[in-house]
Amino acid sequence: MSQQTTIRKLAQLVNTPVEKLLEQLAEAGMPFSGPDQAVTSTEKVKLLGFLRRTHGKAEAPSAAGAPRKITLNRSRKQELTVGGGKSRATVDVVVRKKVTVVRPDGDHAEPTDERAEILRKLEESRQRNLAEQKMLAEADKRRAEEAERIKREAEEAERRKAEEAIAAKTAPAVPVVADDGVVVPPKAAPATHGHGHPKPAAPRADDRAAAPRHKTRGSNAITAGADDDDRNKRFAGQMHLSASDRARRTTSVRSRAKPRRQSDQSRTGTGFTRPTAPIVRDVAIGETITVADLAQKMSLKGGEVVKALFKMGVMATITQSIDHDTAALVTEELGHNVVRADAADVENVLLAHVENLDAEKVVRPPVVTIMGHVDHGKTSLLDYIRRTKIATGEAGGITQHIGAYHVETDKGVISFLDTPGHAAFSSMRARGAKLTDIVVLVVAADDGVKPQTIEAVQHARAAGVPLIVAINKVDKPSADPLRVKNELLEQQVVAEEFGGETQFVELSAKTGQNIDGLLDAISLQAEFLELRAVADGRANGVVIESALDKGRGPVATVLVQQGELKKGDYLVCGVQYGRVRALFDETGSQVESAGPSIPVQVLGLSGVPDAGDDFVVVEDERLAKDVAEQRDAQRRESRLVAQGGNRMEDIMAQLGQGGDQLSLPLIIKADVQGSVQALREALTALSTNEIRINVIGSGVGGINESDAQLASTSKATIIGFNVRADASARKVIETNGVDLRYFSIIYDVIDQVKQVASGILGVEIREEIIGNAEVRDVFRSSKFGAVAGCMVVEGVVKRNKPIRVLRDSVVIFEGELESLRRFKENVDEVRNGTECGIGVKQYNDVKPGDMIECFERIEVQRTL
């Protein structure tokens, strides 16, 4: 704030002696004690008013004096600066913006002189002050502009310098033909611009457009279209710089460019600022993809994709899988093209791997599964064979349980699957894999055929695998092999001696009696089956068992079916993949490879595969990973589908598409054998030429897992008659959507099976003749054409039903009724014994004696 105005200053200002001003102030009612006392704005105004009044120029103007009026209002408070240099002072006055100074008339010259003088000086002072402020403001503005200009010019100069440095390095080695046809010599091609010319205040954008060859600074250049295009041209052919090129460019640019540029480049880590436009890639995305994989396909860091996803509102970690749509969106967002990776594509590639094994096939060992009822001696038999036939490894000779092993016999190698029989079948068959070549059915000679024996027969039959019956425990005095043979006869397992095809071997797993006979029988059967496989090349096969080993990670026992599985191979195994880190045989010894029909433990998989999963060796890990991931996604989807896909009704459609005879597969479980028998017979008897009621399994007792597995793989319906499913069976039933129905009345079973079978058969369309009319006469009408005068001789003739015209019992026309009349009245129907007039649509050739047959089409449910 300016210093306060004193009376002395005011006196100086208005050019009046201090004493006189003091007097005037006193007269105006403002006595001041000294000249150094401060005068307020109000007091100044009051003084002015007083002066006006004392000089006879009161506020009320006369009409004549109006033009000479001076108006000073308090509408604005203003600080005035008066004087210059040291005498410069400020005065606070309240004035109107517009001040009118009118020279006083001659009459009043004397009394207004002083006042006019004061006002004039005040105005002059104000004007001076305003001018000075304006001048100062302009000076400030000029200074700011100058500073800005200097700064800009400095920046421009630096930029040009840096660009010239790059241009010098990247100029084409041959002359360049500019747009205007002028040949620009090498190095001069990226011509500089604007040197020596005054630059406009803010011409940078234009500058760039006008001289596109000049790269703008840092990463900003990436967004400048013209720059990018041009830069691409310049760097064409140099996109893949050698290490030395990169180093040279780095140093040269760094040595010349300004510090900021250096830091930009050092950030890229390559020594130059992205010489090309972003490369647009075709990114193949399947059902799902992990963020990391997606990033890799786009050559981006995982974090960048995570960030882009985040911006889209998707929170995902690098290792997380995202669905196809999300992946496609973020890929497009990041400027790349999305290519749909069809699951079938990779599977086809995989299939090609398997089919490529077109080398010569050689005889392969048979794969044998041992099945049988509890305590009939399966384990004993396997143990005996293993103990006596496996050449144990040097390390202690302890065999390890890997779910399978192979033995050397005089007749060749035999591989045994040491897994629960039905599991080996069901899970394998569920995936369409046929693992077992031969089933050895162990039946205790002293116990005979039991439910699980029958179950085993059913499984083997469903899988189309030949049986060899091992009648065990023949060492026992109570052994009765003939009884076994007879009982199996009931299951349609006929011994060779009975004229059948099944080999029966009587043996003792305890004493080892005739074990070799069993091995011989197996070899013979294998020979008969002519088992062959390609022994060389990339392997494929099936997982028999798998587990997660604490120390070794996922361990899978696989059975090689084709080719040779080697250490170091890449393989896809179900939804897992990996590289074979080590291979072990059943003796626990490391092996380098395994050929067809040889079980081997595999280490190195990404996870634990399921038993029954197939494995295929592929050329690279990428394919293995792709297949595994896509399968994983598909398996998840199909699981959902499967949950609802195995109901009895659902199967109908599938069955309906089959061959000539439809089939309804059933598994019957009942509380007593009598019921099983009765149901089996009653239901099988429902079969017709069109549909076969196929009881693929039956037995006494609760519904167990094995039944459920069989039903699942055979798409059969389980009939539970006075029995229930146990927990493990329920799990399988639930997981696979098996159709299970409980009953307690045999007729209900038959009724329901009939209903379902009828559902499979569907409906048929039948025609029913509802009436016959004899044509007695024919009238011609201009309006209706030929109208047949008829007598309904049978049933009823209805207007909306189709008709046929018969002449001498031969159909000569089929069509519709146009009109049905009785005594000129249109009627809807005419009954037997009544005359009527019938007009036949689009048919005029009706004659007396013809018969008009009225019929309707009805849908009839086909039943058994």
- Give the whole-angstrom CA distance, residue 56 versus residue 42: 21
Half-sphere exposure of 281 (CA within 13 A, CB side): 13
CB of residue 452 to ligand GTP, shortest distance in Å: 8
170 is a contact residue toward ligand GTP (CB under 6 A): no
CB of residue 376 to ligand GTP, shortest distance in Å: 5
The stretch among 286-294, 298-306, 374-382, 772-780 that binds ligand GTP (CB under 6 A) is: 374-382
Indicate which single residue of 68, 336, 364, 378 sits in contact with ligand GTP (rule: CB under 6 A): 378
CB of residue 522 to ligand GTP, shortest distance in Å: 18
The stretch among 53-61, 369-377, 826-834, 853-861 that binds ligand GTP (CB under 6 A) is: 369-377
Indicate which single residue of 374, 529, 672, 745 sits in contact with ligand GTP (rule: CB under 6 A): 374
CB of residue 384 to ligand GTP, shortest distance in Å: 8
Asked whether residue 459 is marked as a ligand-binding residue, the answer is no
* Of 375 and 610, CB closest to ligand GTP: 375
- Give the whole-angstrom CA distance, residue 188 versus residue 213: 11
Asked whether residue 656 is marked as a ligand-binding residue, the answer is no
735 and 643 in contact (C-beta within 8 Å)? yes
* Of 513 and 677, CB closest to ligand GTP: 513
CB of residue 420 to ligand GTP, shortest distance in Å: 8
- Give the whole-angstrom CA distance, residue 14 versus residue 18: 10
- Give the whole-angstrom CA distance, residue 432 versus residue 425: 10
375 is a contact residue toward ligand GTP (CB under 6 A): yes
Q: Please name which of 577, 574, 559 lies closest in space to residue 619, comparing C-alpha atoms.
A: 577
CB of residue 438 to ligand GTP, shortest distance in Å: 18
Indicate which single residue of 248, 281, 510, 821 sits in contact with ligand GTP (rule: CB under 6 A): 510
Alpha-carbon dihedral of residues 615, 618, 621, 626, nearest 10 degrees?
-70
Geometric angle at alpha carbon 158, from 152 and 161, rounded to 5°: 140
Residue 24, beta-bridge partner list: none
508 is a contact residue toward ligand GTP (CB under 6 A): yes
**Contact partners, residue 823, CB within 8 Å, separation at least 6:** none
379 is a contact residue toward ligand GTP (CB under 6 A): yes
CB of residue 481 to ligand GTP, shortest distance in Å: 12
Q: Which two tokens stand for residue 778?
A: 């024919």
386 is a contact residue toward ligand GTP (CB under 6 A): no
465 and 371 in contact (C-beta within 8 Å)? no
The stretch among 371-379, 515-523, 672-680, 689-697 that binds ligand GTP (CB under 6 A) is: 371-379
DSSP code at position 279: P
Asked whether residue 422 is marked as a ligand-binding residue, the answer is yes
The stretch among 118-126, 373-381, 586-594, 730-738 that binds ligand GTP (CB under 6 A) is: 373-381
Asked whether residue 293 is marked as a ligand-binding residue, the answer is no
* Of 104 and 377, CB closest to ligand GTP: 377
CB of residue 559 to ligand GTP, shortest distance in Å: 21
The stretch among 232-240, 260-268, 376-384, 527-535 that binds ligand GTP (CB under 6 A) is: 376-384
372 is a contact residue toward ligand GTP (CB under 6 A): yes
699 is a contact residue toward ligand GTP (CB under 6 A): no
Q: What is the radius of gyration, based on Cα positions, of the chain?
A: 54
Give the other-Cβ count within 10 Å of 321's Cβ.
Answer: 18
Asked whether residue 323 is marked as a ligand-binding residue, the answer is no
* Of 484 and 696, CB closest to ligand GTP: 484
3-state SS string for 258-270: CHHHHHHHHHHCC
Asked whether residue 475 is marked as a ligand-binding residue, the answer is yes
The stretch among 314-322, 385-393, 473-481, 848-856 that binds ligand GTP (CB under 6 A) is: 473-481
Alpha-carbon dihedral of residues 579, 581, 586, 592, nearest 10 degrees?
90
Asked whether residue 419 is marked as a ligand-binding residue, the answer is yes
452 and 372 in contact (C-beta within 8 Å)? yes
Q: Please name which of 416, 483, 425, 499 lies closest in space to residue 450, comparing C-alpha atoms.
A: 483
740 and 668 in contact (C-beta within 8 Å)? no
Instruction: Catalogue the long-range contacts made by 34-43 (C-beta closer than 8 Å, 24 or more residues apart).
Output: 34/7, 35/6, 35/7, 35/8, 35/11, 36/6, 36/7, 36/8, 37/6, 37/7, 38/4, 38/5, 38/6, 39/4, 39/5, 39/6, 39/7, 39/10, 40/92, 41/77, 41/92, 41/93, 41/94
282-285/337-340 β-pairing: parallel
Asked whether residue 421 is marked as a ligand-binding residue, the answer is yes
* Of 378 and 431, CB closest to ligand GTP: 378
- Give the whole-angstrom CA distance, residue 541 versus residue 117: 119
* Of 444 and 603, CB closest to ligand GTP: 444
Asked whether residue 377 is marked as a ligand-binding residue, the answer is yes
Q: Which two tokens stand for residue 73?
A: 């209002």
377 is a contact residue toward ligand GTP (CB under 6 A): yes
Asked whether residue 418 is marked as a ligand-binding residue, the answer is yes
* Of 378 and 538, CB closest to ligand GTP: 378
472 is a contact residue toward ligand GTP (CB under 6 A): yes
Mark the binding-site residues, compressed into ranges: 372-379, 418-422, 472-475
Mark the binding-site residues for GTP, compressed into ranges: 372-379, 418-422, 472-475
By CB under 6 A, name the binding residues for ligand GTP.
372, 374-380, 472-473, 475-476, 508-510
